[in-house]
A and B are shown apart, each in its own frame.
Chain A
Amino acid sequence: DAGVTQSPTHLIKTRGQQVTLRCSPKSGHDTVSWYQQALGQGPQFIFQYYEEEERQRGNFPDRFSGHQFPNYSSELNVNALLLGDSALYLCASSLRGRTEAFFGQGTRLTVV
């Protein structure tokens, strides 16, 4: 039983570019959340997707957008990258009605 998988594991982008990160949830999970973790900090909630809709959003600008597909997998898109967007991006999946989150290994994004 595969856990949460994310791709790519590492990525280097230039300021102003756009990036797409991908996440496959744990088998049987239907809810996907995205978090940004800066070095030495706790994860910060970006948004959560359920039934292909954004159900809740954290304090992130509109440059951050996402999508959930019918198979529950999800993408995180970030436009007009800034140096400050450099971080570990974590995807977490959960079952509807359950609050425990299972995290993927993350995508380390570096913006230069």
Chain B
Amino acid sequence: GQQVMQIPQYQHVQEGEDFTTYCNSSTTLSNIQWYKQRPGGHPVFLIQLVKSGEVKKQKRLTFQFGEAKKNSSLHITATQTTDVGTYFCAGQRGGSNYKLTFGKGTLLTVNP
């Protein structure tokens, strides 16, 4: 079945450093979504990417969708302590396949 791999599993940075997490799907996706889950919280939708090669920005966050629509990345510039949490990518195959397949997530910790 469809698999979504995400690396790294953990990342610890000093405040102000950049952070990147990578996501790779075993199958071509119709879209990929990114979620953030704070410790003890629930996943919160960040963004959806649909087009091949798409790049979207949200303030210090930059999201990319690969040309083959099988991989994606999230880059955070100049991390802040408020960025702490687990970042998940979730892929959807589309058509009559409605489920989101999540990666295992990248836990980001930020040292002030």
Contact = CB atoms under 8 A, between A and B. Distances in A.
B101 A45 contact: yes
A42 B104 contact: yes
A101 B45 contact: yes
Interface stretch (A15-23, A54-62, A63-71, A73-81): A54-62
Contacts, number: 58
Given A33-B99, A48-B99, A100-B33, A105 B48 contact: no
Given A90-B42, A101-B45, A44 B33 contact: no
A79 B110 CA distance: 41
What size tier do the contact residues of chain B reach? 20 to 34
Main SS at interface, chain A: loop
A104 interface: yes
B31 interface: yes
B44 A56 contact: no
B97 interface: yes
B85 interface: no
Contacts of A55: 98
Interface of A: 33, 35, 40-45, 48, 55-56, 58-59, 90, 99-106
17 contacts: A33-B98, A40-B104, A41-B104, A42-B6, A43-B43, A45-B99, A48-B98, A55-B98, A56-B97, A56-B99, A58-B99, A99-B92, A100-B33, A101-B45, A101-B100, A103-B35, A103-B43
